[in-house]
Amino acid sequence: MTELTTPRRGRPRSADADLAILAATRAALAEHGWGGLTMGDVATRAGVAKTTLYRRWPSRNELVVDAVAVLFDDLEMIDLGSLRADIEAVVQQFADLLALPESQAALLALFAEATRDPALRQRVREAIIDPQKRLVHQGRAAAQARGELPPDADPEVAAQDVDIIFDTIAGAVEHRVLVLGACADPQWISRFTTLLLAPLTALHQD
């Protein structure tokens, strides 16, 4: 759960102020990188007092993770009537998000720093990665309801499958867009979905 959704006692927080701070964080990160990012600069960009910023986010790590996590809030798995259509739609959303300059700068800086900081890596997993696995759960549930995939026979195996599917999608799209700097166009997404679905449909037929 991110700071945006964590209930707190005392004076109600302003959602507009939070979003302004998170946007300012991404802008500062894109301009200065992780090493040049300061809480004072973020506060100035967002038009808030530094004390206000620290009350919301006690550390730079927490602030940057939430600034990135909020970018993924609008991703959704819409039931379009088939597993193929559902996957292609969410992959397109993800690719479009990663193509944004602010997303690229923020994610690359965050992931690079997380490789050196185990605590930050854990927070990235809890605040960004694990919540997005809901998309896989939703897609599988819709496909199972339509009879495209069999029901889960073993919860432990099903959880492992969700992890693998998520890692496959996230890894492939991030590699193409962030590492290669290539476009995830509809043709690429269609071919990727075909390769992703092949083992799933084969297992269902067995």
pLDDT digits (tens, 9 = 90+) for 62-104: 999 999 999 999 899 999 999 999 999 999 999 999 999 889 9
Is 127 within 8 Å of 2 (Cβ atoms)? Answer: yes
Classify residue 81 as left (phi > 0), alpha (psi -120 to 50) or beta.
left
Q: What is the mean pLDDT of the chain?
A: 89
H or E element, residue 194: helix 186-205
Cβ(57)–Cβ(3) below 8 Å: yes
- Average pLDDT for 57-64: 92
pLDDT of residue 35: 87
Share above pLDDT 70 across residues of the chain, in percent, rounded to a whole number: 91
Show the DSSP H helices in 57-181 as ranges. 60-69, 83-99, 101-114, 118-124, 130-132, 134-145, 155-174
**Residue among 163, 177, 99, 160 at smallest CA distance from 133:** 163
Neighbours of 195 (CB within 10 A): 10
DSSP H/E element including 40: helix 39-46
Query: Which pLDDT belongs to residue 202?
Result: 59
**pTM flag (> 0.75):** yes
Domains defined along the chain, listed by start: 15-60 (1.10.10.60), 74-205 (1.10.357.10)
